[in-house]
Structure formats: structure tokens, C-alpha cells
Amino acid sequence: MLSEKLFSIMTRFWLNILLFTSISIGLLAMVSCKDDTQDPNPNRPPSVSISAPSQNASYDSGTEVPIVLTINHDASITSYKVTLRDRTNEELVFFISEFSDSREIVIDTSVILQSNCATTIDIAVMAEDSFDNELNEIVQSFTLNPPVGNTFGFRVNLQYDGETLLMNKQYEYPTGQQFEFSRFDMFISNLKLIDNGQETLIKDIDFLAMTNTYKDEATAAEGYIYKVAGLDDGNFDTVVFNIGLTPEMNATTPSDYPVSHPLGQSSEYWDGWVSYIFASIEGRIDLDTSNPNFEQGMALHLGSNEARQEVSLPITLALNNNETKLIDINIDLRELFIDQDGNIYDVVSTPQTHNLIDIPMVIELAQNLKKSIKN
């Protein structure tokens, strides 16, 4: 009897050992087979793979550049941003920025970039997951070549009463008040060179962001340089362009364009007017001489189809053998405030043009701006 009890006890003991071992092995197997995608915090940043452009690729200005890449992660990607930046001047030429809740982001698009000189474009990717792990690196670079041919352009010399203009410098308004500029930018469209009435369109639309050039004395003295490359040989006697957009262009909205396009800038569109802002003249003016703190903001924004002005300037220009030639264009902004009959714009009553009732004043300023442009 004792041996039978002992045998029974030993049997149950080994059965328990076997059961415990089986359970332990099963648990270990479950752990070892766990899907990495279930890791609640991978503690590493998202990764990116890029298919196009290839390393050391080269593209000509004005041609399509493919951007094909994938951002992956084990956890949800909460936000991402893809940027293209010109290494020469550090200008941002394209970007995509979105929020997300996916583990895989696929970018498959293309951009058309312009450059008047050979430069390198860096593609950077930034991404963040739900645990604040971040990716921020340059993932690819490529070369952007200038177009083959001649280059024509102009040096825009902003002035006030014949002197080089500087942002945030005090000037005297034609009616005697002290004021300062803080911004001057504008769209141009249908830039043409003309030879005996024969027109050559060299640029359909562009945005002249001149403000930064005129914040510094050194760059202001050099003027704002604008160039168009890839032009055929020829002799020309006139340059023509619009201040503002054609009605067809102005009927579009920024959502119709990529952000790299001049018309893709939402900050330069005015929903209330259903129009782009053709030109922005901003600053501050001291209307209360007893309190010389430039208390009144100026925001003279020109827009609407009626505000478009065509500028025509006589030139003597010969383009040959892939050369570059610039002409000087002077814009004296004191003349912006005085019409051809000598009437002075009433900045006291309308320091800002933000309403449809301001259209007559907008047209007045647009006509004055055209008059102020000379070569």
C-alpha cells in the first residue's frame, strides 16, 4: 500500500512538472512570436525610403522632377513634412505638410522647378509618431541645371523721392506726415520682349518678393534682381508686363496650383475680393504728431481685375551667344501717392484697402504705381 501511494504521489508530481513545463514553453513561444507591430512604443523614429529622384540625379530647369518616397513606422505617424530647399540660397521651393494616423505614408508627386544657375536641391523629411519619436533628415539631393540659351532680366531699384528705399526708415508723406514702409511685393504677368511689334512671351506669371532685399542697405544698393533664362537670340526694342494678373489667371485660386507655383500662395489671395493681391504696400504712418509712434498701420493691397496695369518700357536689347543682360527698372514709391494731375492719395481716410468699397482707391493706386515705373 505504501509503495502504491508513493507511486501515485510521484506520478502526480511529474505530471505537474510536465504541465508547468508545457505552459512555460507555450508562454515563451507566444512572446517570441509576438508581432513587432504590436510594440506599443518602438522607441525609434520613423524610417524613409526614396525611389525618385535617384542619388546624384540631374534635371533641367523647367522639367518635371519626380518625388516618390515612403515613410514607414511600427507606430502611428502623427505628422510629416517633405521639403525641397535650394542649397545655394536656402530658399524653400516646395513642401508637403500633413497630419496622419497611418503607419505608412506614400508620397508620389512631381514638381517643376526653375533656376537661372546650376544648384543643388536637398530633399528633407520630417516625421513624428504618437510617442514623440522624430525623424528629421536630408534623404536625397539632386542637381538642377539652368536652361540653355540667353538670360534676360532686370534690376528693380526701389526708391523714395529719388533715393534708395529702405524698409522701416522714416520718410515724409506728400502731405507732411512721417511714415515708414515694411513691405513691397507684387505679381507680374505676361512678361514679353518685342521686336518691331513681334511679341515673344518669356514668362507667364511670377511673384517679385522684394521686401527682404530692401531691409538691408547693402542688398538695397544692389537692387532686386529678376532673371529669365533659356531665351533665343534676338534684338528687342520694348519690354512689356502686367502689374497683376490677367482675368483668366485671377479666376483661379491657390488650391489650383502646387505650393511651389507663384499662384499657389494662399497668403497672396483675398477670398473677400475673389482676387489675388496684385501688389502689397505696407507700413506705418504717424497721423498724430503729438504722439510720434507711427500708430496707424498702412496696408494698401491692390487687387481685382480692374486694378491690372500694363507697363511698356522702351529698351535696346541684343541677345546672342548664351549671354546675360540686365536692364534697370526704377520704381519711385513717392509717385505711388500722387496721380498725374498732382492729387495726393488720402491716406488719412483710407490707410487700408480691405473692402469692396475701396475699389476706386485701389484703381487710383494701381494707376499711380504704373506711372512710377521707369527705366
Please report whether residue 42 resides in a domain. no
Query: How many C-beta neighbours within 10 Å does residue 168 have?
Result: 12
CA nearest neighbour of 358 among 314, 299, 316:
299
The number of domains in the chain is: 2
Q: Where is the domain boundary, 111, 145, 179?
A: 145
Query: Does 162 lie in the same domain as 137?
Result: no
Query: Does 141 lie in the same domain as 113?
Result: yes
CA nearest neighbour of 160 among 144, 147, 174:
174
Q: pLDDT value at position 278? A: 97
CA nearest neighbour of 179 among 164, 157, 160:
160
- Three-state secondary-structure class, residue 73: strand
| pLDDT beyond 90 at 296 | no
DSSP letter (8 states) at residue 338: B
Query: Does 186 lie in the same domain as 108?
Result: no
Q: What are phi and psi of 295, to 5 degrees?
A: -75, -15
| pLDDT beyond 90 at 4 | no
Query: Does 206 lie in the same domain as 116?
Result: no
Query: Does 172 lie in the same domain as 115?
Result: no
Give the structural domain span for 195: 150-374
Find the mean pLDDT for residues 200-224.
Answer: 95
Mark out the alpha helices in the chain (DSSP H runs): 2-32, 217-222, 247-250, 359-372
Residue 130's alpha-carbon distances to 34, 61, 69, 126, 374, in angstroms, are 21, 39, 21, 14, 57
- Alpha carbon distance 66, 241 (integer Å): 32
Q: What percent of the chain has pLDDT over 70?
A: 87
Angle at 48 between CA 47 and CA 50, to 5 degrees: 160
Confidence of residue 115 (pLDDT cuts 50, 70, 90): confident
- Alpha carbon distance 351, 283 (integer Å): 10
Q: Residue 150 in contact with residue 115, Cβ under 8 Å?
A: no
Confidence of residue 347 (pLDDT cuts 50, 70, 90): very high
Confidence of residue 22 (pLDDT cuts 50, 70, 90): low
Task: Specify the pTM.
Answer: 0.73
Most distant CA pair in the chain: distance in Å? 131
Range in 62-66, 99-103, 197-201, 230-234 with the lowest mean pLDDT: 62-66
Please report whether residue 75 resides in a domain. yes
Range in 60-64, 261-265, 342-346 with the lowest mean pLDDT: 60-64
- Alpha carbon distance 236, 61 (integer Å): 24
Q: pLDDT value at position 40? A: 52
Q: pLDDT value at position 344? A: 96
Q: Mean pLDDT score of the chain, rounded to an integer? A: 87
Give me the sign of the Cα torsion angle 183, 259, 208, 341: negative
| pLDDT beyond 80 at 39 | no
Please report whether residue 28 resides in a domain. no
| pLDDT beyond 90 at 235 | yes
Mark out the alpha helices in 226-358 (DSSP H runs): 247-250
